[in-house]
A = this chain, B = another copy of it.
Amino acid sequence: MTLRALVYTDEDVTEYDDLAAAKLANGTTWVRADDPDEATLETLHEVFDIHPLAVEDVGNDVRPKVEEFPAHLFVLAKAARLRHGDTTFEKEIDDRPVGLFIGTDWLVTLTFHSLDVLDAVQESVLREDPRVLGRGPDFTAYRVLDRIVDNYFQQLDQIEDRLEYVEEEVLETPEREILEEINDARRELLAMRKLLWPTRDSISTLARGDSPQIQESTEKYYRDVYDHLVQQVDLVETYRELAIGARDIYMNSLSMSTNEVMKRLTIVATIVLPLTLIVGVFGMNFETMPELTWPTAYPAALLGMAGISGVLVYYFRKVGWL
Contact = CB atoms under 8 A, between A and B. Distances in A.
A-B pairs, top 8 by smallest CB distance, nearest first, are A279-B280, A282-B284, A265-B266, A286-B298, A272-B273, A283-B283, A261-B262, A288-B295
A51 interface: yes
Given A251-B255, A280-B280, 11 more contacts: A63-B231, A88-B164, A180-B249, A250-B252, A254-B256, A258-B258, A272-B274, A283-B285, A285-B289, A287-B292, A287-B295
Contacts of A248: 179, 183, 247
Interface string A278-316: 011111111111001111111001100000000000000
A82 interface: no
Given A179-B249, A187-B245, A276-B280, A255 B256 contact: no
A227 B179 CA distance: 34
Contacts of A220: 51, 53
A257 interface: yes
A51 B223 CA distance: 13
Contacts of A245: 183, 186-187
A190 B241 contact: yes
A156 B52 CA distance: 26
7 contacts: A63-B231, A179-B248, A179-B249, A252-B254, A272-B274, A284-B285, A286-B292
Interface of A: 51, 53, 56-57, 61-63, 65, 67, 87-89, 160, 163-164, 167-168, 171, 176, 179-180, 183, 186-187, 190-191, 194, 220-221, 223-224, 227, 230-231, 234, 238, 241-242, 245, 247-259, 261-266, 268-270, 272-277, 279-289, 292-298, 301-302
A265, A284, A295 pick with most chain B CB within 10 angstroms: A284
B252 A176 contact: yes
| Secondary structure class of chain A's binding surface, majority of residues | helix
A262 to B, nearest CB: 5
Nearest to A161: B89
A272 B247 CA distance: 37
Contacts of A264: 266, 270
A293 B190 CA distance: 74
A206 B39 CA distance: 32
A266 B285 CA distance: 29
